[in-house]
Structure 1
Amino acid sequence: MPKFAANLTMMYTEHAFLDRFAAAAKDGFKAVEFLFPYDFASNEIKQRLTDNGLTQALFNAPPGDWAKGERGIASLPGREEEFKASVAKGLEYAAVLGNEKLHVMAGLIASDQPREKHRAVYLKNLEYAASEARKANIGIVIEPINTRDIPGFFLNRQDDAQAICDEIGAPNLQVQFDIYHCQIVEGDIAVKLKRDMKRPNAGIGHIQVAGVPERHEPSIGELNYPYLFELIDSLGYEGFIGCEYKPKAGTSEGLGWLKSYL
């Protein structure tokens, strides 16, 4: 049976952030994820998890200056020391919140910038992040993101992400398979899940879902999610599936699709 985590950045936005934990638990979620925890003390978030019987599934390492449009710094030349500090900050929070996965965002690249230089920096930084995270028994995940939502994002395809993980060869470095992003860029979701789930060197470390194309509930849009959930289960995936979507109306009102899985 698939295990779902509510994404508290996108869901339950009708509540203040710290109140979203209780709202998710009330609706039957046993786990949560979100983009960033850094506006709050780690022990304050941990208390919300404990009070509501929730597991922390995932969050992102600091991405640079998000307010100014940065979307990660892992592939950005000249930002290596800042990247190391971001990994340390993410691992510091993970040690308190208890999640076993930390997402590292690649960042943006302009069309006139040298891609190979960015790739070399990206690999070196990921090797560092995986090494540091392994000391804490934490996995690092990297996510291909579609260029419609984030134009210029460095990493867009599942096969490219898997190749990077293969090249680095760290046992705790895997791909975050966001079905929404993959459908927009590549499609052929089921074949890619079958191809990558059992890869010996990398594989899929986390899965996220949303309806395509509007990024609403998985029950809305062009994808047959009941089939995909059954497939994911049959492939032996034991991690959480993050519900990273924007509810079309109220969050709780749109959870009819989830009831049979809880």
Structure 2
Amino acid sequence: MPKFAANLSMLYPELAFMDRFAAAAADGFSAVEYLFPYAFSAADLAAQLKQHQLQQVLFNAPPGDWDAGERGICCLPDRQVEFREGFLKAIDYAKTLGCPRIHVMAGLVPDGIDPERLLATYISNLKWAAEQAGLENIDVLIEPINARDMPGFFLHRQDQAHEIVQAIDAPNLKVQMDLYHCQISEGDLAMKLRQYLPTGRVGHLQIAGVPARHEPDIGEVNYPYLFALIDELGYDGHVGCEYRPKRGAVADGTSDGLGWFKALTWH
């Protein structure tokens, strides 16, 4: 069965962020991911990981002004200096946290800019990021995100992401394959897994129920079938649980919704 990582940006919303590490460990998770670490010191986060015997498997590079609606700046021609400064900061965090991969969000497509210019900027920044991360044995990930949840996002299909990764041809540049986004954007999940996992270019998987992004046992996707397929295909990375607990920010709301996880991992 795949190894699961709790996404602490979404799970345990009733708790302060720093208290979510203990909650995840208590529920049986051995690994965590989250969107952004930058509101906290790397040393404090590392202390939580050590205290609760958790592995940090993923976080995002700085995305621009998230609160103002920005969703990454990697494809934006006038933000290259900011992108590169932010990515170096992400590497510093990753080194302290022992995190082997950083997700780079592409960004929203602005009006009035030639798409080819955006693509050229994106590729240039990713090449540079992969070179910098490679010096520290860190993978750089790019993720297609569905247009319903994030209208105008630059990257929204698996084939688009894989074409870019192949074109750049850096061994540490890979695709973050979120099955929730993939189901909404294009479907055919089992065949997509069969197509892409054997390439070795999928660096991380994520899951959530479709359509409401709740627990993976709520909705239209047969995750037990996909988990077995993921094992069959030899994927040995983590699967990030990036979903919103259906019960929301109530005491034990996340833990009460982990029946699917405990059935798979607790014996």
TM range (shorter): over 0.9
Alpha-carbon distance in structure 2 between the residues aligned to 1:168 and 1:9 = 30
**Residue 5 of structure 2 is aligned to residue 5 of structure 1:** yes
Q: 1:55: which partner in 2? A: 55
Alpha-carbon distance in structure 2 between the residues aligned to 1:164 and 1:247 = 33
Residue pair 1:64, 1:72 contacting (<8 A) in 2 also: yes
**Residue 208 of structure 2 is aligned to residue 210 of structure 1:** yes
Q: 2:74: which partner in 1? A: 74
Moved over 2 A (4+): 110-113
Q: 2:263: which partner in 1? A: 260
Alpha-carbon distance in structure 2 between the residues aligned to 1:34 and 1:224 = 25
Q: 2:149: which partner in 1? A: 149
Residue pair 1:2, 1:261 contacting (<8 A) in 2 also: no
- What is the DSSP-based 3-state SS (H/G/I as helix, E as strand, rest coil) of the residue aligned with 2:209? coil
Residue pair 1:143, 1:177 contacting (<8 A) in 2 also: yes
- What is the DSSP-based 3-state SS (H/G/I as helix, E as strand, rest coil) of the residue aligned with 2:78? coil
Give, in angstroms, the shift of residue 112 of structure 1.
4.1
Over aligned residue pairs, what C-alpha RMSD do you find? 0.8
Alpha-carbon distance in structure 2 between the residues aligned to 1:190 and 1:135 = 35
Q: 2:137: which partner in 1? A: 137
Give, in angstroms, the shift of residue 198 of structure 1.
1.6
Give, in angstroms, the shift of residue 38 of structure 1.
0.2
Pairs within 5 Å for 1:116-195: 116-195=116-195
Q: 2:250: which partner in 1? A: none
**Residue 251 of structure 2 is aligned to residue 248 of structure 1:** no
Letter in 2 for 1:34: Y
Residue pair 1:175, 1:206 contacting (<8 A) in 2 also: yes
Deviations 1:78-120 (A, max 9, x none): 1111111111011000001011110000000035432111000
**Percent of aligned pairs with the same residue?**
58
TM-score after normalising by structure 1: 0.98
Alpha-carbon distance in structure 2 between the residues aligned to 1:55 and 1:122 = 30
Deviations 1:108-162 (A, max 9, x none): 0035432111000000000000000000000000000001111100000000000
Give, in angstroms, the shift of residue 261 of structure 1.
2.4
- What is the DSSP-based 3-state SS (H/G/I as helix, E as strand, rest coil) of the residue aligned with 1:78? helix
- How many residue pairs get aligned? The number is 260
**Residue 235 of structure 2 is aligned to residue 232 of structure 1:** no
Alpha-carbon distance in structure 2 between the residues aligned to 1:246 and 1:127 = 33
Alpha-carbon distance in structure 2 between the residues aligned to 1:222 and 1:88 = 40
Deviations 1:175-221 (A, max 9, x none): 0000000000000011111111122xx62000000000000000000
- What is the DSSP-based 3-state SS (H/G/I as helix, E as strand, rest coil) of the residue aligned with 1:15? coil
Residue pair 1:212, 1:220 contacting (<8 A) in 2 also: yes
Letter in 1 for 2:27: D
Alpha-carbon distance in structure 1 between the residues aligned to 2:74 and 2:259 = 38
Alpha-carbon distance in structure 1 between the residues aligned to 2:264 and 2:54 = 17
Residue pair 1:103, 1:141 contacting (<8 A) in 2 also: yes
Letter in 2 for 1:231: L
